[in-house]
Amino acid sequence: MAAEPNETLSGATLLARALRAQGCEYMFGVVGIPVIEIAIAAQAEGIKYVGMRNEQSACYAASAIGYLTRRPGVCLVVSGPGLLHALGGLANATENCWPVLVIGGSSDLDQEGQGAFQEIPQVEAAKPYCKYSARPSSIHSIGFFVEKAVRTSIYGRPGACYLDIPGNMVNEEVQACKAKVFSQCPAPPKCLADYSSVKQAVELLSKAEKPLVIIGKGAAYSHAERPLLEMIDRCKLPFLPTPMGKGVISDDHPLCVAPARSLALSNADVILLCGARLNWMLHFGKAPRFRKDVKFIQVDIHAEEMGNNVSSGIFLYGDLPGVIEQITERITKRGNIMQAEKLSEWTVQLNKKSERNLMMNKELSSVVTVPMSYYQAYGQIKKFLPQDCFIVNEGANTMDIGRTMMPNHFPRRRLDAGTFGTMGVGTGFAIAAAMLAEGQAEQRGLPAERVVCIQGDSAFGFSGMELETSCRYNLPIVFIVINNNGIGTGMDQDSWDAIKKPALEALPMALSPNASYEKMMEAFGGKGYCAQTSAELHKALEQAFYNTATTCKPALINVIIDTSADRKPQDFHWLTRSKM
């Protein structure tokens, strides 16, 4: 629609229209001077605005939208402290390779350098934690910078971008006819791997006696589920998902060897790495976690990742779904390439180990104690999880045990602390997933997928006030706090009561014993439950899932477990150190 000759637009409206033109549908933030008008303008343009209680949580939520939709969510923050609080979210998104756009208000240009309200060098402060950090040179250039920031966030290795909007630009007006509109940047171009490298990769796989496919969250982000499943089924290759790679191929698939993770990693002779990095989460690809002579085939969209932490390998640079199709096509042309007898022996070995570990988990979950163990609690939780639900999981043992106890059947349905190991992300992630599920359900005319957020009590404490946000927006999230009174371990009531000087005598990891977190939810209008036994937990889960479905209000279950509860013994320390 053509603009009227004398029509004027504010900077806030120009910004909101530019965001909408680039396909940004969700904005999370904490408003104040000078960005209130930006949030109002965004809503006027049809962008859903979610007011959060802390900028970190707002940025976590926006980045989760980026991961789940491949279009950046927007995080809106005020100047100075507002932007500084969001830096944790910026860094988390960049480390996780998730697109997000943070927009920060800043002091007026004509006050720069004079000690303006909340004045700090915001563009420079954000730069180390994102792919692109800039300030529009004028109100007319806002559309240009928004398009560039969105494009940068999704092209190549996805990540965070920051735009700085001086306060005077927010309300400054410009003639509508002079405001240039930039069309939506297209999805990133797809590139394929060098064909000779694909042939080398297939040759290497054909010689493998103990091959393994590792499926990372990059595979989930790139929607590689169909070509990966076709390749796995055709070649009968065992696969191991990383935490957020779970569900790209269902955990129930007969070739999923996640329960035999240690055995698979330490014995595989050829590993096809699909959208995963050889960082701390995969022990840098080094012994003793891996064989010294293991060969890696790396598939990645980021060329600089090739050969990182490994001295040799075959590197397939390109878009993961397309590269996997190249591999499958080459395998089909070449015929049956795998050493069937050796591969069968390897698969049987892994399956036996998987069955033993699954049985051990089942036995641990069936042992009835008061207070409960992690396994006992998860044994009950698992019974209520819909197959297609979003599982948000964070905390130390809470997350690690949850990964082994809760199956994922669909891609992009597990959100956890991720590559950066960030605690406090869970509530923001859950709010983003619930908003997205609600929006998609409206479009499809179907019920929204359920969102279940399971956190340790320490992790919950980072962003507990966001319970109010979930109630305010009527988001039917089931929150479950696994409460062991501490960070990793805590103190029981009797031990705590015996202390006279907590600052000198209490365990540094200890939190208040038996805190009533469920009452926080009740304070904001949701349903709260406390469970100290398996029977109480079963009943609370039953009521929480029913009430959230019928009232569209969130619920929180405070699950009291043993303060000394722990994981079963591990072959390798989680942070790369061997226990041998």
Does 578 have pLDDT greater than 80?
no
Mean pLDDT score, 281-305: 94
Mean pLDDT score, 333-343: 77
pLDDT digits 0-9 by tens, 341-391: 788 999 999 999 999 999 999 999 999 999 999 999 999 999 999 999 999
Q: Which of 356, 388, 407 is the last residue of a domain?
A: 356
> Which range (40-49, 182-191, 453-462, 520-529) has the least confidence?
182-191
* Mean of pLDDT over the chain: 94
DSSP states of 525-536 as a string? Answer: TSEEEEE-SHHH
CA dist 579 to 33, 398, 519, 571, Å? 53, 21, 41, 7
* Co-location of 214 and 331 in the same domain: yes
Does 212 have pLDDT greater than 50?
yes
- Answer with the residue of higher pLDDT: 533 or 337: 533
- Answer with the residue of higher pLDDT: 282 or 337: 282
pLDDT digits 0-9 by tens, 532-568: 999 999 999 999 999 999 999 999 999 999 999 887 7
Q: How many CB atoms lie within 10 A of CB 404?
A: 19
Q: CB-based contacts of 297: which residues, under 8 Å, 6+ apart?
A: 201, 204, 205, 270, 271, 272, 273, 313, 314, 316
Query: Rounded to two decimals, what is the model's pTM?
Result: 0.95
> Which range (130-139, 176-185, 386-395) has the least confidence?
176-185
Please tell me the distance from the alpha carbon of residue 436 to that of residue 440, in angstroms, as a whole number.
Answer: 6
Amino acid at 288: P
* Co-location of 153 and 82 in the same domain: yes
Question: What pLDDT shows up at residue 4?
Answer: 64
CA dist 7 to 4, 40, 142, Å? 5, 19, 18
* Co-location of 21 and 59 in the same domain: yes
Q: State phi, psi for 483 to the nearest 5 degrees.
A: -105, 105
Question: What pLDDT shows up at residue 211?
Answer: 96
Mean pLDDT score, 289-316: 93
Q: How confident is the model at residue 5 (pLDDT cuts 50, 70, 90)?
A: low
Please tell me the distance from the alpha carbon of residue 533 to that of residue 369, in angstroms, as a whole number.
Answer: 8
* Co-location of 533 and 402 in the same domain: yes
Whether 124 is in a domain gets the answer yes
Q: Which of 317, 332, 356 is the last residue of a domain?
A: 356
Structure tokens at 518: 């469920």
* Co-location of 291 and 221 in the same domain: yes
pLDDT digits 0-9 by tens, 91-113: 999 999 999 999 999 988 878 88
* Co-location of 217 and 282 in the same domain: yes
DSSP states of 285-303 as a string? Answer: G-TTTS-TT-EEEEEES-G
Does 3 have pLDDT greater than 70?
no
Mean pLDDT score, 211-232: 98
* Co-location of 201 and 304 in the same domain: yes
Does 483 have pLDDT greater than 70?
yes
Whether 89 is in a domain gets the answer yes
Identify the three-state secondary structure at position 409.
coil
Q: What's the CATH number where 413 sits?
A: 3.40.50.970
Mean pLDDT score, 60-65: 98
C-alpha 58: how far from chain center? 14
Going by their DSSP bridges, the two strands 132-134 and 160-166 should be labelled as parallel
* Co-location of 293 and 350 in the same domain: yes
Please tell me the distance from the alpha carbon of residue 250 to that of residue 256, in angstroms, as a whole number.
Answer: 8
Question: What pLDDT shows up at residue 341?
Answer: 78
Q: Are 60 and 13 spatial neighbours (Cβ–Cβ below 8 Å)?
A: no
Domain count, the chain: 3
* Co-location of 389 and 522 in the same domain: yes
DSSP states of 551-575 as a string? Answer: H---EEEEEEB-TT--PPP-SB-TT
Question: What pLDDT shows up at residue 570?
Answer: 62
End-to-end Cα, the chain, rounded Å: 70
* Co-location of 402 and 290 in the same domain: no
Amino acid at 284: F
Does 337 have pLDDT greater than 80?
no
DSSP states of 478-525 as a string? Answer: EEEEEE-SEESEE--HHHHHT-S-HHHHS-TTB--TT--HHHHHHHTT
Please tell me the distance from the alpha carbon of residue 63 to that of residue 346, in angstroms, as a whole number.
Answer: 39
Mean pLDDT score, 496-515: 95
CA dist 181 to 9, 15, 76, 142, Å? 12, 10, 21, 9
Longest dimension (CA), the chain: 78
- Share in percent of the chain as helix, strand, coil (round to 5): 45, 15, 35
Question: What pLDDT shows up at residue 91?
Answer: 97
Question: What pLDDT shows up at residue 167?
Answer: 93
Question: What pLDDT shows up at residue 246?
Answer: 98
Please tell me the distance from the alpha carbon of residue 480 to that of residue 530, in angstroms, as a whole number.
Answer: 10
Q: Which of 356, 385, 406 is the last residue of a domain?
A: 356
Q: How many residues does the chain have?
A: 580
Question: What pLDDT shows up at residue 474?
Answer: 97
- Answer with the residue of higher pLDDT: 178 or 285: 285
Q: What percent of the chain has pLDDT over 90?
A: 88
Question: What pLDDT shows up at residue 524?
Answer: 98
Amino acid at 17: R
Mean pLDDT score, 41-60: 98
Look at the block and give the residue holding tokens 């589920």.
225
Whether 222 is in a domain gets the answer yes
Of residues 183, 182, 185, 180, the one with CA closest to residue 9? 180
Please tell me the distance from the alpha carbon of residue 426 to that of residue 468, in angstroms, as a whole number.
Answer: 14
Residue-number span of the structural domain to which 116 is assigned: 8-178
Cα 221–Cα 435–Cα 217 angle in degrees, nearest 5: 15
Question: What pLDDT shows up at residue 180?
Answer: 82
Whether 402 is in a domain gets the answer yes
Q: What is the DSSP letter of 317?
A: E
* Co-location of 426 and 513 in the same domain: yes
Q: CB-based contacts of 280: which residues, under 8 Å, 6+ apart?
A: 575, 576
Mean pLDDT score, 477-488: 96
* Co-location of 274 and 164 in the same domain: no
Look at the block and give the residue holding tokens 């892994």.
350
Question: What pLDDT shows up at residue 294?
Answer: 96
Identify the three-state secondary structure at position 197.
helix
Q: What's the CATH number where 200 sits?
A: 3.40.50.1220
Question: What pLDDT shows up at residue 295?
Answer: 96
Q: How many CB atoms lie within 10 A of CB 293?
A: 7
